[in-house]
A = this chain, B = another copy of it.
Amino acid sequence: MPKEKKLVEAITSMEEDFAQWYTDIVKKAELIDYSSIKGCMIIKPDGYAIWENIQAELDRRFKEAGVENVYMPMFIPESLLNKEKDHVEGFAPEVAWVTHGGMNELQERLCVRPTSETLFCDFYKNDIQSYRDLPKVYNQWCSVVRWEKETRPFLRSREFLWQEGHTAHATAEEAEERTVQMLNVYADFCEEVLAMPVVRGKKTEKEKFAGAEATYTIEALMHDGKALQSGTSHNFGDGFAKAFGIQYTDKENKLQYVHQTSWGVTTRLIGAIIMVHGDDSGLVLPPKIAPAQVAVIPIQQHKEGVLEKAAELAGRLKAAGVRVKVDDSEKSPGFKFAEQEMRGIPVRVEIGPKDLAEGQCVLVRRDTREKQIVKLDALEEAIVALLDAVQADLLEKARAHRDQHIYDAHSYDEFRDIIQTKPGFIRGMWCGSQSCEDTLKEEFAATARCMPFGDQEEISPVCVCCGKPAHKLVYWGKAY
């Protein structure tokens, strides 16, 4: 049985080669497959189901925040992309160009959207006339294309799925408020649903989005100590509005430019889940995002009553609102356990003839492998409590790991020592000059991940790079 053989091959251990471990997981947990198109992935049922759960949870939060969904065309005429100077410089080098429609060459080539600011601006220009038309708080779920040279499943691919919110407001204050509001929606979602703590903060000028006045970010720490930018929210001020001519008449009948924002998260979040929670046996999924939360695995399933009881338990759990599946295939229980662990199903229920006789079953947590025996009539209650516990413990574990990997650097030498020996975030003061950012990037491949919200502590009076006076605290790190 070639399929069984494939699975039981050990995956590379994290310690040995984290990048290979990651690649093994995405394939062997059957999240993705590679396609004939270089740099584009096929998202398989378990991978897509995680994305559907992310979508459902985020979309609900968006709608509570007054967001409406729309759909824009996937193509952008070259002249439209060219309208905002910084934006086109940021994106033109990495877009795919459509030059022919059917048998004919197009008069103007079209790029496949790498992001849709320009399309929303072109739309808002006509759709917004009066202050009564504001605010516009629109979002779309779609795929975008960026012709990257180096790609990795979920983390960086030529096509990926995302949502992109694009809003227009009467005032600068309202735009700023919305920018921060949506970043907080992302951060809360990551903590509450993905069990992934994040650092919230502002990007430096060097790291901000092409065309934005300010970019806010949530940064998560992966198991290997590298940072992953997990969501961003941009305040455009009235820059795009001026480039595209998006004006409204205010209550005094004066023409004003709108103020805009955009914000997005992508299938990259699936990569984050893998690298924050996974272990050497495979995926570990937080229950709130897991396609199946419980796997019921019958033991000695040929014995009388075992399969029937497994199906009955699954039915009861389903009725209790639990996502459950029964593995009644012909594989051995040991193989089924390995498969459930590889796929990261949070809890497994083992039920065999002995359990049947005792009126009990065995529950095993995926994250800690802790076992407990429960009476069958208390199953629903035990499972619901266990799923809650797993969700909470994963967040705590990830938070502890993150906190243990934040280091303070007070000087260049200290920065060098930390970055060369201790993977994680480095807190260090920054004078504000881009040349210091460039130096740290060239020397250590370290980038300014963000200037954290709230945390205004001045851990040193001088820049961690040049030693000149500095007042900005920055989280530095190597990043995906």
Mark contacts of A40-69 with chain B using CB atoms, 8 A cut-off: 1 yes-contact digit, 0 otherwise: 111111001101100000000000000011
A161 interface hit (Cβ, 8 Å): yes
A147 with B112: in contact, given A3-B129, A73-B159 (CB under 8 Å)? no
Identify A142's interface contact among B95, B110, B143, CB under 8 A: B143
A75 interface hit (Cβ, 8 Å): yes
Residue pair B70, A45 in contact (C-beta under 8 Å) = yes
Residue pair B122, A36 in contact (C-beta under 8 Å) = yes
Contacts of A158 in B (CB 8 A): 101
A36, B1: Cα distance in complex, Å: 55
A32, B459: Cα distance in complex, Å: 54
Mark contacts of A69-94 with chain B using CB atoms, 8 A cut-off: 1 yes-contact digit, 0 otherwise: 11111111100100000000000011
A60, B74: Cα distance in complex, Å: 27
Number of copies: 2
Identify A72's interface contact among B42, B97, B123, B132, CB under 8 A: B42
Contacts of A42 in B (CB 8 A): 70-73, 119, 123
A98 interface hit (Cβ, 8 Å): yes
Report the nearest B residue to A43, measured CB to CB.
Answer: B71
CB A305 to nearest CB in B, in angstroms, measures 26
Residue pair B99, A93 in contact (C-beta under 8 Å) = no
Interface size class of A (residues with CB under 8 A): 35 or more
A2 interface hit (Cβ, 8 Å): yes
Mark contacts of A90-114 with chain B using CB atoms, 8 A cut-off: 1 yes-contact digit, 0 otherwise: 0001111111111100000010100
Residue pair A75, B45 in contact (C-beta under 8 Å) = no
Residue pair B102, A94 in contact (C-beta under 8 Å) = yes
A36, B79: Cα distance in complex, Å: 10
CB A311 to nearest CB in B, in angstroms, measures 16
Residue pair A98, B97 in contact (C-beta under 8 Å) = yes
Residue pair B71, A37 in contact (C-beta under 8 Å) = no
Contacts of A129 in B (CB 8 A): 2-3
Residue pair A40, B100 in contact (C-beta under 8 Å) = no
A residues contacting B by CB (< 8 A) are 1-3, 33, 35-37, 40-45, 48-49, 51-52, 68-77, 80, 93-103, 110, 112, 119, 122-123, 126-127, 129-130, 132-133, 138, 142-143, 145, 147, 158-159, 161
A244, B36: Cα distance in complex, Å: 13
Residue pair B99, A103 in contact (C-beta under 8 Å) = no
12 residue pairs from A and B, CB less than 8 Å apart: A1-B132, A35-B122, A40-B73, A42-B71, A44-B70, A48-B69, A74-B112, A74-B145, A75-B96, A95-B101, A101-B158, A142-B143
Residue pair A52, B74 in contact (C-beta under 8 Å) = no
CB A116 to nearest CB in B, in angstroms, measures 11
Main secondary structure of the interface of A (DSSP, over half): mixed
Residue pair A110, B73 in contact (C-beta under 8 Å) = no
Report the nearest B residue to A119, measured CB to CB.
Answer: B35
Report the nearest B residue to A46, measured CB to CB.
Answer: B68
Report the nearest B residue to A70, measured CB to CB.
Answer: B48
CB A350 to nearest CB in B, in angstroms, measures 23
Known A42-B119, A48-B68; further 17 A-B contacts with Cβ < 8 A: A2-B130, A33-B127, A35-B73, A35-B122, A36-B80, A40-B73, A42-B70, A42-B73, A42-B123, A43-B70, A45-B69, A93-B102, A94-B102, A96-B100, A96-B102, A99-B99, A101-B158
Residue pair A95, B99 in contact (C-beta under 8 Å) = no
CB A25 to nearest CB in B, in angstroms, measures 18
CB A134 to nearest CB in B, in angstroms, measures 13
CB A133 to nearest CB in B, in angstroms, measures 8
User: Which 5 residue pairs of A and B lie closest in terms of their CB atoms, listed nearest first?
Assistant: A40-B73, A101-B147, A45-B68, A43-B71, A97-B100
A127, B2: Cα distance in complex, Å: 12
Residue pair B3, A72 in contact (C-beta under 8 Å) = no
A69 with B96: in contact, given A3-B129, A37-B77 (CB under 8 Å)? no
A147 with B102: in contact, given A43-B71, A112-B112, A159-B73 (CB under 8 Å)? yes
CB A39 to nearest CB in B, in angstroms, measures 9
Residue pair A77, B36 in contact (C-beta under 8 Å) = yes
A322, B75: Cα distance in complex, Å: 37
Contacts of A130 in B (CB 8 A): 1-3
Residue pair B101, A98 in contact (C-beta under 8 Å) = no
**A52, A72, A129, A143 — most chain B CB neighbours (10 Å):** A72
CB A151 to nearest CB in B, in angstroms, measures 12
Identify A75's interface contact among B40, B48, B73, CB under 8 A: B40
